[in-house]
Structure 1
C-alpha cells in the first residue's frame, strides 16, 4: 500500500447528529474495497482479540491456546493465525492508500513453491516442501520461483492509477458504507430518504484519515450500520472541545 493523503467531505445532519453521506475520491474507495481482500485471520490480528465485538476473537484465542497435541502433524498454527497472503494489512498493492498497519504474515518476503523431486516431470506444485507428490509419493522439495505479475505502472497500460476504481469521478459513501457514483440525483434521494426539509441543519466537514482512522473504520465495518457516524462524529466533537479550551 502507498502512503497517500486521504480525506473525506462529510455531510452531517446536525439535528439528528448523523452523517448522511461522504464525498470521497478514488483513494478512500480503494481502501474500503481493500478490506474485502483481508483474510479473517488478518483483520482479527489487526483489531486484536479485545477489539472484537463478536465471537471470532474467541476462535482466534482458542487456536492460540490449543496444544499442538490436538493438531494433525501437517497443521501449523501459524497458517491459521497468520495466514499466507499476498495482500495483507500493510503489504504492497499499487495505488491503495496505507491506512492499516502492517501485519506479520507466516509467509516470507517471497513466495516459495515446490515441485516433485523425481525426474518424471509430474505436474504438481506445493507451497510446503513436506508435501508428497500424488503420483510417486516423493517429497515436493524441488524449489521453483514464484513470479509476480507486472505492476500497473510496468504493464504498458495507459493508466497508472493502480488500486481498484477509476479516479475520474467523485464517489458517494453512505453512513453504512454503501458506495455509489456521486450525482445530484443521488444527493436529492438521500435528502428525501432521511426526510431532510431544512438544509440549514446540514453541515459540511472535511476530515483527514490516517492509520488510526483506518483501524476504526475497519472495526466499525464489521459491527456497525452507521460506520461514518460512529467513527467521525466523536472525533469532530473532540476537536471542537479542544478548540474551546
Structure 2
C-alpha cells in the first residue's frame, strides 16, 4: 500500500477485558486477515527497512546486519547493483509496503485472531473450544468490552513492529503494555531439518573468530566475502520462508504463530486455496542476484534443506579477496589490523589473552545463525560459539563426502 494513494482502512473488532489491560482476541474479515498474512511474504531486509523508518527498537542482530549493509561502501560489492538489490529485495509484493488488496483467504470468510497472532476460522468446533484454543478463560469474558477500530497503513506498520518485540502484540499495540519477546521451546535445529540433509551437503565455509582465552568470549570474526555474502543474503529471504526453514520455531512467538496457523487452522478448511497456502507457507525468492546465493545455501534437495556454500554454484554479492570483520551482532565492516586491535582494546582485552579459532559453517551452523539473528544481539555467540563449546569434549563426526 502506498501512503500517497487513497487510504484503505480495514475494520477489526477487538474484545478487551473489563480492566482494559488485555486484548482477549480480535474478530476480522478476510481483508484484515490477508493484510496480516501479507507480512509473511516480505523479505527480512524490507521488514528491517520499514522498522527502521518507523523507529522500531533493535531486532535481534538483523538491525545491525541491515545497518552494516547500508553503511558498507559500494566498492566492496561485486557489481554496482548488488548492494541496491540487497537493500531493496524483490518479493511477492513489489515495493516495501504490504498489499492490502492481495487475497490469500476467500472473500466473506471471518476469522478469530489471538493476542499472540494465532489465526483461525471464526468458530472452530464450538465457542468454548475456540476460546480454549485462544487461551481465553470464560471468566475473562465477563464484562469484556468491544472496540470497533479501523486499521490503515500506520496501524499495520505499528502491528508489524509489535510482532517482533512482544509475545502479545495486540495488547502491546492497543493497551500500551510492554511484553518481553517469548521463545517457544524447540528441539535443536539439526533434529528439525534431519541429519540426512547434513550428509547430503557436507561442504562448509571456513570462518576465523577472535576469542578471549580466559572467558571464551567472542570478540569478532574474520570473514571472506562468501560468508559476508551469506549474511547479507539472509536479508533477501521472505519472513514466511524463514519460518519454513525453521519449522515455525524461530523464537519470535507472534510470527511463529502466524505462520503455523496456515497449516493448523486455515488451509484445508475451505478458507484458503492450495496456491495461497504455498505462497504464504514457503514464499518464493524473486531476486536473481540472491536466488543463486540463498538457494545454494538453503535450497531444496529431495525435499531436504541443502547448504553447499559451493562457490561454483553460488554468486557472491561481496567483492573478494578482501577480508571483513563481523561483530557478534552481525555488523559487517572492512577488516584491517588497526581496526581489529582497536576493537580488542575497546573491549579491554589484553592481546596476550586473545586466540584465533577456526570454525566451519555449514547447514546446521547457518540455520543457527539465522535463528539467533531474529532474537539475539549475539548471533555469532548463540549460533556458533555456544554450540561449539557445548560439543567441545564430544567426539567429532566425520562428514560423508560423495
TM bin, normalised by shorter chain, reads 0.5 to 0.7
Distance (Å, rounded) in 2 between the aligned partners of 1:87 and 1:102: 17
The equivalent of 2:235 in structure 1 is 36
Does the Cα contact within 8 Å between 2:369 and 2:384 map onto a contact in 1? no
Equivalent position to 2:252, from 26, 45, 53 = 53
- Runs of at least 5 residues in structure 2 that lack an aligned partner in the other structure: 1-200, 304-311, 396-402
CA contact (8 A) 1:171 1:181 kept: yes
Query: Quick check: 2:373–2:379 contact (8 Å CA) kept in 1?
Result: yes
Residue pair 1:99, 1:213 contacting (<8 A) in 2 also: no
Kindly indicate whether residue 388 of structure 2 is the aligned counterpart of residue 236 of structure 1: yes
Runs of 4+ in 1 over 6 A off after TM superposition: none
Mapped pair 1:78 → 2:288: no
Residue of structure 1 in register with 2:300 after alignment: 102
1:206 aligns with 2:389: no
Deviation readout 1:42-70 (Å, 9 max, x if unpaired):
01000112343332010012222125544
Please, which of 3, 8, 11 is the counterpart of residue 210 of structure 2? 11
Bigger CA drift: 54-63 or 169-178? 54-63
Name the stretch that deviates more: 42-51 or 160-169.
Answer: 160-169
> For the residues of structure 2 that align with 1:61 and 1:74, how far apart are their CA atoms?
15
Task: Give deviations 1:87-118, integer Å, cap 9, x for gaps.
Answer: 69xx9516x6944352899xxxxxxxxxxxxx
| 1:211 to partner: Cα distance | 0.5
- Return the TM-score normalized by structure 2: 0.41
The gaps in structure 1 that reach 5 residues or longer are 106-152, 154-159
CA distance in 2, matches of 1:74, 1:234: 40
| Mapped partners of 1:74, 1:242: distance in 2 | 45
Task: Say whether 1:176 aligns with 2:359.
Answer: no
Checking the alignment, whether the CA contact within 8 Å between 1:4 and 1:97 is kept in structure 2 is no
Local SS of the residue matching 1:208:
strand
Aligned residue for 1:49, secondary structure, equals coil
Residue-pair matches, total: 185
- Contact map agreement 1:26 1:165 (CA 8 A) in 2: yes
In the alignment, what sits opposite 1:225? Answer: 377
Query: CA offsets per residue over residues 156-199 of structure 1, 9 Å max, x none?
Result: xxxx9932010121111111110011012211221232112x22
1:27 deviates by 1.1
Counterpart contact for 1:9–1:22, Cα < 8 Å:
yes
Deviates more, 1:230-239 or 1:32-41: 230-239
**Distance 1:190-1:236 versus aligned 2 partners, 3 A rule:** same
Separation in 2, partners of 1:98, 1:75: 25
